A and B are shown apart, each in its own frame.
Chain A
């Protein structure tokens, strides 16, 4: 067994971000199905929110690199 516990933290953060981005994407799909004419707005907001959630995971990854 080599490596550090930081890698586990990184994985946990990835799980969290995965759930977050998945739910954002799913809800956006539902919204688009309901109101196809609002596609542009929904897509822009979806990407923005996904980027914010992804940022949390990336911060965790950087922390994992640094803490190691």
Chain B
């Protein structure tokens, strides 16, 4: 019956996880401090000449040099070559649209800018294309949808309300030795500078700091809520089954979850956490089932293909939870081993041991974050690369025979990789839970255990 109680405790943790994880994924923007974007420039045609040289820096899109200065929508341009890299990155990134097959469901955009106030509207206002996650053909209240992200036009002269755009311009420039993409929206022949996307990974991948906050319910957030609700439903019904079917054999979903539950309890919690395992079992189980559910949901083809556990912001929050739990529960013995290791000469402690141990405190959750992110993202990219073989061989529909050869090569490889990814989904959820348990165990173990090492 004690197991039952910790099973019920999962429900308190899952919504908490969703709430904590959901916000940084879609927000994490700061007040922007750089002066370079403070004055929003309206870029005239004249300044284009000196940026032509910079346009060639963009090696990722080999054809930017002649395309860079024409206003257009990506959907209007006939593609001549299949761009595997950008397709893969498009598929692993977050979006403001939920696509199931070829149906696009607009999601709510919740935006806040200082001095401008709140804006709450459907992403359908952006008037996106059939494969709509990329671009919106309209601006709404100064916000545009470009390259799968909501961006803001800072220029006050830009009209608010729904405005039809003429296209987007992307340029590659060298800023502080880094190759950065700068985007402009075209409206009535003028180019309006766009601020970058306002998300956690937008900043990490070179997006920078913006003047607006993006609290939108993106594809990832919706998937998280969906999985949390599914898990809540499943676990409530299982918990009820334990009450009504007491001392009977498990049935249905119950018999699927029970071995996994017992596995986490007996193989992860008990050996690593010692006598305190009961206190941390709800945390471990909610981490495990939440990660597992999201991993598996992301593997389903055509159903959004959401990549939540492959989002650095999401895994960062999970790792942060681990870090906080370890730091709060760390006992005197744990801290003394970090700050002042007993039995080691003082000079070595000051010079090497203490700095290394303090760094280790942060490196542990950092690797936790990267491991989950890297495994899931790599899986999605490999699947996209193999599917992309069809388009590469078929030259985007030019050659039917090539497409058939590509499909013959690609389908078995894709099935093989997806089978492996199914395994990876379980293993990574298990590894994350296990490492969390071992970090908590190391922080809470009593003194006499530690003298063995």
Contact = CB atoms under 8 A, between A and B. Distances in A.
A61 B431 CA distance: 19
Contacts of A2: 59
Interface string B69-101: 000000000000000000000000000000000
Interface residues of B, number: 17
B292 to A, nearest CB: 14
Given A52-B431, A58-B378, A66-B205, A44 B371 contact: no
Contacts of B267: 44
A59 B371 contact: yes
Contacts, number: 37
Contact of A54 (B59, B367, B370, B375): B375
Contacts of B427: 47-48, 51
Interface string B422-439: 001001101100100000
Interface string B283-307: 0000000000000000000000000
A47 B434 CA distance: 13
B180 to A, nearest CB: 14
A59 B370 contact: yes
B377 interface: yes
B377 A62 contact: yes
A36 to B, nearest CB: 20
Nearest to A49: B431
B373 interface: yes
B374 interface: yes
Nearest to A60: B374
Given A55-B371, A59-B371, A62-B373, A48 B431 contact: yes
Chain A's interface size range is 10 to 19
Contacts of B370: 55, 59, 62
Contacts of A48: 427, 430-431, 434
A49 B313 CA distance: 26
A10 to B, nearest CB: 11
A54 B421 CA distance: 13
Nearest to B59: A2
Contact of B375 (A44, A47, A55): A55
Interface string A24-56: 000000000000000000001001100110110
Contacts of B367: 55, 59
B374 A58 contact: yes
Nearest to B263: A44
B90 to A, nearest CB: 14
A56 to B, nearest CB: 9
B375 A61 contact: no
Contacts of B431: 48, 51-52, 55
Nearest to B371: A55
Contacts of A52: 371, 431
Nearest to B368: A55
A44 B59 CA distance: 44
Interface in B224-239: none
A51 B428 contact: yes
A59 B374 contact: yes
Given A48-B434, A54-B375, 20 more contacts: A47-B427, A48-B430, A48-B431, A51-B424, A51-B427, A51-B428, A52-B371, A52-B431, A55-B370, A55-B371, A55-B375, A58-B374, A58-B375, A58-B378, A59-B371, A59-B374, A61-B374, A62-B370, A62-B374, A62-B378
20 contacts: A2-B59, A44-B267, A48-B427, A48-B430, A48-B434, A51-B424, A51-B428, A51-B431, A55-B367, A55-B370, A55-B371, A55-B374, A55-B375, A55-B431, A58-B374, A58-B375, A58-B378, A59-B370, A59-B371, A66-B205
Interface of A: 2, 44, 47-48, 51-52, 54-55, 58-59, 61-62, 66
Interface of B: 59, 205, 267, 367, 370-371, 373-375, 377-378, 424, 427-428, 430-431, 434
* Top 3 A-B pairs, shortest CB-CB distance: A58-B374, A55-B371, A62-B374
